[in-house]
């Protein structure tokens, strides 16, 4: 497998001398530490001169991010018998939490202060990459669109190098719910759902306020179901049930059978491991896209994060920019916020669902430097599923059916099936710009039932992030809201689901998917608006080729995913982002491999 996971800038980690053998009192010791998502308990077993085992299984870290960091860091501690190992870029908090907890356990094992000091000395060494590396296709970004492009380019016969500045793969796809919108001729008819590509196109254009590029929207929607089939051909398994992502406007969202968007990434990684014509280099940051005298893009200059060395990656056939959006770049999003949310402050008080280090818009800026046209930068999407304090999408999600949105007075205030911009603006209008998503046993049959994101409501309750109650009266008391309002909200919702009345807020029930919510246990999770997706970026055509300011193709340059503009208009439908990544990533990879 040519997957160069180096904790330092695309360099291969070279085994160095392990730390000198410390002395411990044999036994198993535990320590509870605050990690990224929640507290976790770490157990360390030691013999007289060796760390024998580290158990970090009692954690709630994110699949493919924090959990991956625990595996990598824990493995390195055992291998090197040292705490002086690198953390995983992009999962720093999880990495540091584990190292700290292990250190505290070793203190319990009576390690001496001198030995502990030695154990914390850095034991990593790095060998820099060559000054120049040649391949056929270079992809900047190892998220969903970048890896989709890599697989497609590989299938088209090209040699590929993927450059990822974090220490892990997946980007925003990795931490998404994984919803992929597609008009499905097999699943939807079995569920009694009427749909078509034409309907998907129409809703995408209208949902984006009719400013999306019809050519790109057509390519997206026509390619969505073929992308589902393509993903299945390389190992992704989708559920038979087709759901509705938040703001999807229709029941066409396909979800992987295993939890979350990380499912796609695991399949891509497996493919890469089995195909030596694809090499992935992590912890390396692309700095410049390069052109020759004829104006053709020929390569990428990138910097190793820890060695500080630069490498020139020459691309014989093409370069693909797939670096995501700029949702975490507060300064940039404030500068360009003249669109749908121009009347709202999208500054530091509003969180972001994306990786802080990667969602900075670097690919957009690099493309601009070589003459690419940039469009739609004012089109920023705010999602209703933010966690107070961070903006991350965690705990009970707003997607799906059988959930009610209530404000702090216990009243429904918006059509739960509305577009995301409508939902977010309605939340901003509530007291303290917050609300609760309310579900019951229909969504969580038991405290230990695992949802599609790999989470249990029992753990959410233990963390104090979800309020549980057997009755609405009890819930109203816990949330300090008028019980008559809360009951009235549920009664109205149930009447709409039963078909007894038309919802004054506009919610339209699905007679197969929506059920009346009458019995507890009830679960309420507080939410806030959060920046989720930036729809602006590099202008492309339906071949995923980047266009210049005159509308002409920049030879050798392609782009896919959130780094592009023009597809979603000024509001993206929930479930269209993964479709975008897969459809345009696949298109970019195939065309770049052919040097089109």
pLDDT digits (tens, 9 = 90+) for 23-65: 999 999 999 999 987 789 999 999 999 999 999 998 888 888 9
- Give the pLDDT mean for 332-344: 93
Nearest to 564 by CA among 542, 545, 536: 536
Task: Assess whether pLDDT exceeds 50 at residue 309.
Answer: yes
- Give the pLDDT mean for 110-116: 96
pLDDT band (50, 70, 90) for residue 18 = very low
What is the pairing mode between strands 522-534 and 435-440?
Answer: antiparallel
Predicted pLDDT of residue 349:
85
Task: Assess whether pLDDT exceeds 90 at residue 9.
Answer: no
pLDDT digits (tens, 9 = 90+) for 194-234: 999 999 999 999 999 999 999 999 999 999 999 999 999 99
Among 137-151, 168-182, 471-485, name the one with the lowest average pLDDT: 168-182
Among 145-159, 283-297, 349-363, name the one with the lowest average pLDDT: 349-363
Q: Among residues of the chain, what percentage have pLDDT more than 70?
A: 97
Catalytic residue selected from 397, 420, 572, 586:
420
Among 75-79, 87-91, 455-459, name the one with the lowest average pLDDT: 455-459
Q: Which residues of 66-78 are buried (b: 16+ CB within 10 A; e: fewer)?
A: bbbbbebbbebbb
Neighbours of 450 (CB within 10 A): 13
Predicted pLDDT of residue 511:
75
Task: Assess whether pLDDT exceeds 70 at residue 12.
Answer: no
Domains of the chain with bracketed CATH: 27-119 (3.90.1010.20), 132-176+259-325+361-379+535-594 (3.50.50.60), 381-531 (3.90.700.10)
Predicted pLDDT of residue 512:
80
Compute CA 498 distance to the chain's CA centroid, rounded to the nearest angstrom.
Answer: 36
Q: Indicate if 420 belongs to the active site.
A: yes
- Contact between residue 437 and residue 527 where contact means Cβ atoms under 8 Å apart: yes
Angle at Cα 197 formed by Cα 195 and Cα 201, nearest 5°?
110
Task: Assess whether pLDDT exceeds 70 at residue 187.
Answer: yes
Per-residue DSSP letters for 522-545?
EEEEEEEEEEEEE--EEEB-TT-E
Q: How far apart are CA 8 and CA 12, in angstroms?
A: 8
Residue predicted with more confidence, 567 or 177:
567
- Mapped onto helix, strand or coil, the DSSP state of residue 44 is strand
Phi, psi of 164 (to 5 degrees): -130, 125
pLDDT digits (tens, 9 = 90+) for 441-468: 999 999 999 887 778 899 899 888 999 9
CA distances from residue 189 to 13, 46, 349 in whole angstroms, order as listed: 52, 58, 44
What is the pairing mode between strands 564-565 and 253-256?
Answer: unpaired
Q: How far apart are CA 158 and CA 332, in angstroms?
A: 36
Predicted pLDDT of residue 6:
38
- The chain-wide mean pLDDT, for the chain, equals 93
Predicted pLDDT of residue 392:
84
pLDDT band (50, 70, 90) for residue 10 = very low
Torsion of CA 238, 242, 245, 249, to 10 degrees: 140
Predicted pLDDT of residue 80:
95
- Give the pLDDT mean for 564-579: 96
H/E stretch holding 422 reads: helix 420-428
- Give the pLDDT mean for 240-249: 93
Q: Among residues of the chain, what percentage have pLDDT more than 90?
A: 84
Q: How far apart are CA 444 and CA 466, in angstroms?
A: 12
Task: Assess whether pLDDT exceeds 80 at residue 15.
Answer: no
- Contact between residue 318 and residue 558 where contact means Cβ atoms under 8 Å apart: yes
pLDDT band (50, 70, 90) for residue 81 = very high
pLDDT digits (tens, 9 = 90+) for 398-455: 988 899 999 999 999 999 999 999 999 999 999 999 999 999 999 999 999 988 777 8
């Amino acid at each position: 497998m040519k997957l160069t996971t180096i904790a330092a800038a695309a360099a291969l980690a070279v085994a160095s001398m392990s730390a000198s053998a410390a002395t411990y009192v044999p036994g198993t010791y535990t320590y509870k530490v605050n990690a990224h998502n929640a507290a976790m308990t770490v157990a360390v077993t030691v013999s007289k001169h060796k760390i024998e085992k580290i158990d970090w299984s009692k954690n709630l870290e994110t699949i493919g991010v924090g959990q991956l960091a625990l595996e990598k860091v824990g493995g390195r501690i055992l291998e090197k018998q040292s705490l002086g190992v690198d953390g995983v870029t992009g999962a720093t908090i999880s990495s540091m939490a584990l190292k700290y907890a292990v250190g505290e356990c070793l203190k319990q094992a009576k390690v001496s202060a001198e030995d502990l000091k030695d154990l914390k000395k850095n034991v990593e060494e790095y060998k820099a990459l060559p000054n120049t590396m040649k391949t056929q296709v270079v992809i900047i970004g190892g998220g969903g669109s970048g890896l989709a492009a890599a697989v497609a380019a590989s299938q088209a016969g090209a040699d590929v190098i993927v450059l990822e500045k974090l220490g892990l793969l997946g980007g925003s796809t990795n931490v998404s719910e994984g919803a992929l919108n597609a008009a499905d001729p097999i699943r939807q008819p079995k569920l009694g759902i009427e749909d078509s590509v034409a309907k998907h196109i129409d809703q995408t254009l209208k949902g984006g306020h009719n400013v999306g590029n019809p050519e790109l929207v057509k390519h997206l929607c026509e390619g969505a179901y073929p992308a589902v089939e393509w993903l299945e051909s390389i190992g992704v398994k989708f559920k038979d049930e087709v759901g509705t992502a938040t703001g999807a406007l229709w029941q066409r969202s396909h979800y992987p059978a295993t939890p979350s968007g990380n499912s796609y990434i695991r399949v891509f990684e497996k493919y890469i491991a089995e195909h030596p014509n694809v090499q992935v280099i992590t912890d390396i940051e692309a700095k410049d896209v390069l052109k020759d005298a004829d104006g053709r893009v020929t390569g990428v200059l990138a910097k190793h994060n820890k060695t500080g060395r630069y490498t020139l990656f020459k691309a014989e056939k093409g370069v693909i920019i797939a670096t995501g959006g700029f949702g975490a770049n507060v300064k940039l999003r404030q500068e360009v916020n003249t669109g749908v949310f121009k009347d709202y402050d999208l500054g530091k008080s509003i969180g972001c669902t994306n990786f802080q280090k990667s969602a900075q818009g670097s690919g957009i800026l690099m493309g601009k430097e070589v003459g690419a046209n940039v469009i739609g930068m004012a089109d920023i999407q705010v999602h209703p599923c933010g966690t107070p304090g961070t903006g991350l999408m965690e705990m009970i999600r707003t997607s799906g059916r059988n959930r009610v949105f209530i404000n702090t007075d216990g009243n429904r205030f918006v059509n739960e099936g509305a577009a995301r911009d409508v939902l977010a603006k309605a939340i901003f209008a509530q007291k303290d710009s917050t609300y609760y998503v309310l579900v019951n046993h229909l969504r969580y049959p038991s405290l230990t039932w695992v949802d599609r994101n790999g989470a249990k409501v029992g753990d959410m309750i233990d963390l104090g992030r979800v309020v549980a109650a057997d009755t609405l009266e009890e819930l109203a008391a816990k949330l300090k809201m008028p019980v008559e309002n809360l009951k009235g909200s549920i009664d109205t919702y149930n009447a709409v689901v039963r078909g007894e009345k038309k919802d004054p807020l506009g919610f339209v029930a699905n007679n197969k998917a929506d059920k009346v919510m009458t019995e507890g246990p009830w679960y309420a999770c507080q939410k806030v608006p959060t920046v989720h997706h930036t729809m602006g970026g590099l202008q492309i055509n339906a071949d995923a080729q980047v266009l210049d300011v005159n509308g002409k193709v920049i030879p050798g340059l392609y782009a896919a995913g959130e780094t592009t503009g023009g597809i979603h208009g000024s509001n993206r439908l929930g479930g269209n982002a993964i479709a975008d990544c897969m459809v345009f990533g696949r298109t970019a990879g195939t065309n770049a491999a052919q040097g089109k």
